[in-house]
Amino acid sequence: MGTHPRGDAIIRDNRIPQKTLGQWITDNPACLGAKVKDAFQGTLPFLFKVLSINTALSIQAHPNKELAAKLHAQFPEHYPDANHKPEMAIALTPFEGLCGFRPVEEIVSFLQTAEGKDISGSNGDLLLRLHSQYPGDIGCFTIYFLNLVRLEPGEAMFLGANEPHAYLHGDCVECMACSDNTVRAGLTPKFIDVLTLCEMLNYTPAPSSSKIFPAVQSQLDPSVYLFDPPVPDFAIMKIEIPASIKLYLVSAVDSASILLVIQGTAVGTSTAAASEMTLRRGSVLFISANESISLHLSSPDGMLLFRACCLL
């Protein structure tokens, strides 16, 4: 969900002549909000995704802006743009991922255990699971070096530039800067660039608990929990509307945003829309800056929404 050239979102409203979201924003740049339009040269600065992971995704990291520009200039077939790609994953189900280097004493302990050929326990089980997915891939052994982070639904982890990581299992929503630059080194059939990855990585060790990124409950709206990472490109709001509320206002913000329905049903109305919108699990709305949406809930269990935006 976004406007990257490799996956420009399709607009499903047949009353709109532009076929993709990128084309519509180009023709209506004010929809981004004044600050976002100026800061990001008239483009939507984020991508919004839903991932359902059964087979581990590649061991990877994302370059900072300086390295991204260099890689794109040298190898545009592998690095398709010049942007950085910080990202955040918020768990929808119990979620497992590798993120950042473990404390050194943990690494030493695990390697000593592995040298003794004892691979029992959770690390051994994970090693065997990865080996069954990627037989013979040395990347399976990164579990001894990288933190295993387990998230419960609603918990998040943020991945800045040069942070080694891999998503292993579970469902999540993910938001990132508008980029497709990924440097891979294992657990993948895709292009592998070990030299670049080893040169760029952040090797600072830290415990797994430090990788979990907290949400802050809004003081203005107790239904809203904000994940605001230390980058300007994006932020994510989790909106939990209780069953007791039948009319809810998705407040206006000074940024274009993308709203995703995870749970519940409602009819949405706004001053910008010519007709009512039926929203259900999987519905996606693009909301222009400074526009609000009124939701008339029809589900008995409330609603769960995620909203990606840019809060400059």
**Are β-strands 59-61 and 284-287 bridged in parallel, bridged antiparallel, or unpaired?**
unpaired
What's 20's DSSP letter? B
Phi, psi of 134 (to 5 degrees): -135, 75
Q: Is 184 a catalytic residue?
A: yes
DSSP state string for 226-246: EE--SSSS-EEEEEEE-TT-S
By C-alpha distance, which of 60, 57, 98 is closest to 196? Answer: 60
Distance CA 207, CA 214 (A): 16
Position 189, amino acid? P
User: Which residue is listed with tokens 């069953």?
Assistant: 243
Q: Please identify which of the residues 102, 129, 184, 307 carries the catalytic annotation.
A: 184
Distance CA 235, CA 224 (A): 12
By C-alpha distance, which of 213, 119, 122 is closest to 165? Answer: 213
Where do the DSSP E strands lie in the chain?
46-53, 59-61, 87-91, 95-101, 146-151, 156-159, 165-177, 183-186, 212-213, 216-217, 224-227, 235-241, 247-250, 257-263, 266-269, 277-279, 284-287, 293-297, 303-309
Distance CA 298, CA 302 (A): 8
Q: Which residues pair with 247 in a beta bridge?
A: 296
Query: For residue 58, what are the CA distances in angstroms to 155, 167, 184, 260, 276?
Result: 22, 8, 6, 26, 42
The residues annotated with a catalytic role in the active site are 184
